[in-house]
Structure 1
C-alpha cells in the first residue's frame, strides 16, 4: 500500500500535490510519504506480535539513508541495521538508541568496530574468523566485551537477482556452513567476545517464503547443535529480504505469512529474534519525480527524455529493475496508450528507465513519477556527469519539508582542490 493517489486530476502524496512540490523545489526530486512509512512498520510489527514472537525490528539503513526517514521509523520504536560507521552515525543522529542498533557487513574496519563498541550498540554481526579475532583483540585492549552474533552462510538459493543474493556458498557473506559450529564455539571462548547467537541474511527482494524457511531450518539445527555442545544461543538475527511489488499484479508474501513461517520454523527455541527489513518498509513509500525535456520520434521508436537519469535512480540500469512511470497529471480515460522508451540525458544507452512502456501521450514540461523508488533510490545516487544530487522531500499530511537540499555547482566545486603545481 502507498499514499500516492490522484485527486482532481493531479497526483498527490498524502494531502500534498506533487506538482506543487515540483514548483517549489524543481525536478528531479525524491518524495516520501510519512503515512506509508508508518503503516508499513505497523503492519510488520503487528504481524510479529500476532505470532507471539519476541523480536526487535531494525530498519536496514542501506535501503534509505535519509535522516528524516530513519527518524520517522525510530519514533515508532524501530531500531537500525547498519553496515558502516557513517550509517551508524546517521542512526544515532536520527535518534535511534544505541541498544537498538546492529552492525552488519563483511569489511568492518578497526575504526568502525571501535566506534561501535564505544557507542554501546546492541550487536555486531561477525562474518569471518579474521574479523572475530580482530574484534576480540580490540575489545580486550579497550577493556570491553563485544556483543556478537556469528553470521552464517546457509548455502541457500534465495531465488532473487544474482547481485542481491547473499546466502549461497560462493558469496562473500557469512561463515561457511561447515565451519559455523567450530567458529561459534571458538567465539564463545574468547575473553573479549560476548557470544549471543547467530545471524543469517540470504538476500533482498525475495518473493517466496521457501528460501527463508530452508535457511531458518538450518539455523534451528545449528542452534540445537550448539546447545548440545554447551554453547548458549540466546539471540537469532534473521535479517531482512522480504520483497515488495514493483508492478501491478506482483504479490510477494505478506508480513503475516512471513511471521507465521518464522513461528513454525523457529518457534519454541526461546530465542530473542531480530528482523532487519529495509525495502519492505520504504520501497513503496517513495517516488522519484521528473520532468519531460523532449519527446523524440525516430523511424522505429518514441523516446520520452526526462531530466532524471541513471545517476539519480540506478536500479533499472544495474538490475534491469522495473519502476512504474506515473503521469503526475491524470490521463483522460480515453487517452491513447502507446509504447515509448523512457530515458535520461546521460550519454549511455544504459541510461534507460524502461523500454516499450505503455503510456498516454506526454509532452515537454509534463511531470512523471517513478513508483516504488523509496528503497535503493536516493541512497545509491551519485553526481556522475557532473549532475547534482537531487533533493529529498518528506511529506506528512499537507506539510512538506526538503530533508536533503540540492547542492549548487559551487557546493560541488568546493569539494575539489587543485595541486599547487597546476
Structure 2
C-alpha cells in the first residue's frame, strides 16, 4: 500500500480496465460502470461524486460465500461497516445474507436503520462507552468482542444493572505482524487492539465469577489489506491452541470470530484468493467444533466503488518534475493517499483520452495542504480543464472518511446496477456546513 515499495512500472490504462470487468470503455459513451456512462452521472449529479456498483457488490458477496462453502464451512458473515456505511450498501449485503460488524453506537444504529436484525450485528472496538454497551445489551446483539479486562468488568456491571446477560467473545492480540501497512496493523503486541494472548486463560477464569456474562469464545483480527496467507495462518494457529487450552481448563468455547483483513489488488499486487483464506480457516478450526464468524470489509466494498472527479486546471511544473492535474476531488473526499500513501488507479472517462499517449503527471486536489496529492508521477494523457476521471477501488474507506475541511461540502453518492443509476445521498448544501452553529448573544457586546 505504501507507494515507496513499488519497483515495477505503474499499470497502463488498458491493464487497469482489463482487471476490472465491470468497467467498460465505450467508443461513444466513454468509460461506463455497470452499464452506466460515468459522463451521464457527472452531468446529472455533478462532481466529485461517489459511485457504488450494486452488481459488483453482489458478485463479490456471492464469490466470498462460495469460497467458504467449497471449503466445507458456513461462517456467519458480518460486513465491516466501517469500510462503507452507505445504507444502500448495507441493504444490498443484507439481502445476500450478511450481517454487520459495528465499532460504535452510531454504526449499530445505522445497521438497524438498514434493517439488519440485532442478532446479525457484532460489536467490536477498543473504546466502547457505557452508553454503547447499554445499547448493545438492550438490543441483544450477536456478541460483543471485548477488548480488555477493564471492558469485561464494566460490561459485567452494566449487564447486571440491566438484569441481562451478555454474550462475550474475547478479542485476542496474538502478537502477529500482518505484513501490511503500519497504520492498519492491529495484531502486534504494541497495537492498541485486543487482549494479550497470555492473559486470556486468567480472564476466562475471572469471568466465571462475574455476573451478567456468558463467555462464548474468542476473536482475532490482525490488520487490513493482507495479501499473504502466512500471517493468517500464524494467528489462527495461536487461537486454535488457545481454544484447546481453555477447554482443558474446563471452559466452554463455542465461537471463533476470525475477523477480516483480506486485501485486494489496487495496483498490480497479487491479492490473496478468498478460497485460500477459507482454506486457512478450515485448516486451523475445522476439527474444533466451533461456530465460525468472519468480518470482511475492504474485499467486498473497495472494488465496488469509485470516485468521479473533474479536472479544474493543469499546471506546468519546473523541468524534471511532472506537470500537475488539479481535480475537484481532494484529500477531504478521499483521505487514503495522504493518510497511507495509498495507490488508486486513475482513468480518464472520455473515449479519446482512453487511447491517447501518456506521460507522468502528479494528480492533486484543491485543498490547502501539501499532502493533498492523489497520485504522483502517474502515466496519464494530457487532460484539459473539465475532463472527467475515475479514481478506482474507492468503495472502502472512501466516503466514510470524508470531511468538510476547507468548507467543502460532502460529495453526492450514486449507485448503479445493470444500466440504472440513482442518487442515494445528495450533495451536501453549502449552508448545511454552518446550519447548526450559533453565536452567543454576548458576542455583540
TM over 0.5: yes
Contact 2:348 2:354 in 1 (8 A): no
SS at match of 2:442: coil
Rounded to whole Å, the distance in 2 between the matches of 1:334 and 1:205 is 31
Contact 2:52 2:306 in 1 (8 A): yes
Correspondence list, 1:190-269, <5 A: 190-247=210-267, 249-269=268-288
Correspondence list, 1:348-367, <5 A: 348-367=369-388
Rounded to whole Å, the distance in 2 between the matches of 1:18 and 1:185 is 58
Shift of 1:187: 2.2
2:346 pairs, out of 325, 329, 352, with: 325
Question: Corresponding residue for 1:339?
Answer: 360
Question: Corresponding residue for 1:299?
Answer: 318
Rounded to whole Å, the distance in 2 between the matches of 1:192 and 1:332 is 63
SS at match of 2:441: coil
Rounded to whole Å, the distance in 1 between the matches of 2:21 and 2:202 is 46
Residues 274-326 of structure 1: CA deviation (Å, up to 9, x unaligned): 00000000000000000000011122331000000000000000000000101
1:410 pairs, out of 406, 431, 434, with: 431
Aligned length: 421
Residues 208-231 of structure 1: CA deviation (Å, up to 9, x unaligned): 010000000000000000000000
Shift of 1:159: 0.4
Residues 119-160 of structure 1: CA deviation (Å, up to 9, x unaligned): 111010000111000101110111110011000100000001
Shift of 1:330: 3.0
State whether structure 2 residue 369 is matched by structure 1 residue 369: no
Correspondence list, 1:375-390, <5 A: 375-390=396-411
Shift of 1:7: 2.0
Residues 11-52 of structure 1: CA deviation (Å, up to 9, x unaligned): 111121111010011000100000110011101111111111
Question: Corresponding residue for 1:114?
Answer: 134
**Structure 2 CA distance for partners of 1:348 and 1:177, relative to 1, 3 Å:** same
Rounded to whole Å, the distance in 2 between the matches of 1:54 and 1:408 is 45
Contact 1:324 1:370 in 2 (8 A): yes
Shift of 1:361: 1.5
Rounded to whole Å, the distance in 2 between the matches of 1:356 and 1:330 is 22
Shift of 1:70: 0.8
Rounded to whole Å, the distance in 2 between the matches of 1:169 and 1:311 is 32
SS at match of 1:183: helix
1:42 pairs, out of 62, 76, 82, with: 62
Shift of 1:188: 3.8
Q: What's the Cα RMSD here? A: 1.1
Contact 2:347 2:354 in 1 (8 A): no
SS at match of 2:128: coil
Rounded to whole Å, the distance in 1 between the matches of 2:232 and 2:401 is 26
Shift of 1:190: 2.2
Q: TM-score, normalised by structure 2?
A: 0.93
Shift of 1:2: 5.2
Residues 259-281 of structure 1: CA deviation (Å, up to 9, x unaligned): 01111121110100000000000
Shift of 1:334: 5.5
Residues 197-245 of structure 1: CA deviation (Å, up to 9, x unaligned): 0000000001101000000000000000000000000000010000011
Question: Corresponding residue for 2:35?
Answer: 15
Question: Corresponding residue for 1:64?
Answer: 84
Correspondence list, 1:142-181, <5 A: 142-181=162-201
1:276 pairs, out of 295, 300, 305, with: 295
SS at match of 2:421: strand
Shift of 1:163: 0.6
Question: Corresponding residue for 1:124?
Answer: 144
Question: Corresponding residue for 1:87?
Answer: 107
5+ unaligned residues in a row in structure 1: which ranges? Answer: none
Deviates more, 1:10-19 or 1:146-155: 10-19
Rounded to whole Å, the distance in 1 between the matches of 2:123 and 2:21 is 29
Q: TM-score, normalised by structure 1?
A: 0.98
Residues 84-143 of structure 1: CA deviation (Å, up to 9, x unaligned): 011001111111111110000010001001111111110100001110001011101111
**Structure 2 CA distance for partners of 1:224 and 1:289, relative to 1, 3 Å:** same
Question: Corresponding residue for 1:134?
Answer: 154
5+ unaligned residues in a row in structure 2: which ranges? Answer: 1-19
Rounded to whole Å, the distance in 1 between the matches of 2:75 and 2:311 is 46
